[in-house]
Amino acid sequence: MSLTRILLADDHQLIRAGLRAMVDSFEGFRVIAEASDGREATRLVRQLKPEIAIIDISMPQLNGLDATAQIMREVPSTKVIILTMHSADQFALQAFRIGAAGYLAKNAAPLDLENALRTIQRGERWFDSMATRTIFDDYRRLANGQAPTSPTSNPDSLTLRQREVLQLIAEGYSTQEIARRLFISAKTVETHRARIMERLNIYDVAGLTRAAIRMNLITSES
């Protein structure tokens, strides 16, 4: 029986260790790599092309939703399960809309994780019951001619690159540090910063940080 290769991405080492132990105990699945932030996760997916990636939604440098969007664009053969502390909310809608294959709360039982992996292995999508209800309610509103549920942030309000830059600004990185992490020039970072400020109509770092929190790019505890 061939193994389905799994990548784990979470910024907490203990959580990764627990997930690795669980996944490796499931017949036919094996963890081949771990990442502690979203940028490392996308790099490892490009390099290793695992069948499935389990990615925490709240990670430094690149959050799980934007990391998933990059993976969907660059390595569509890798299916992503979003791992989150949140269940029935707009995170589930965003995960569904960007093409995540699964959505699993961190307080789920090990059997739920195994069911999610095996469902996705068969080429289907797996969202927990509360997330599925949220998604169903959203589409029912559309079918009834009502406005869809407003996500906590509009995924289209900024480009993916602008979201990356905004997250790094909110995490306290300087222009030079952002340039090094994104492999772009400092001038390009400043251009992105100016366009972000113009689009959001916010012109100070504190305001940008609050916007990043509202857009779920970082948490208020970051």
* All domains in the chain, ordered by first residue: 4-141 (3.40.50.2300), 160-214 (1.10.10.10)
Say how far residue 94 (Cα) sits from the centre of its chain. Answer: 9
pLDDT digits (tens, 9 = 90+) for 131-141: 666 655 555 55
pLDDT < 70 regions, the chain: 1, 86-90, 129-156, 220-222
Would you state the pLDDT for residue 153? 44
pLDDT at position 133? 60
pTM (predicted TM-score): 0.76
Is 57:131 a contact under the CB 8 Å cutoff? no
Give pLDDT, residue 174. 93
30 CB contacts (<8 Å, ≥6 apart)? 3, 4, 5, 6, 23, 24
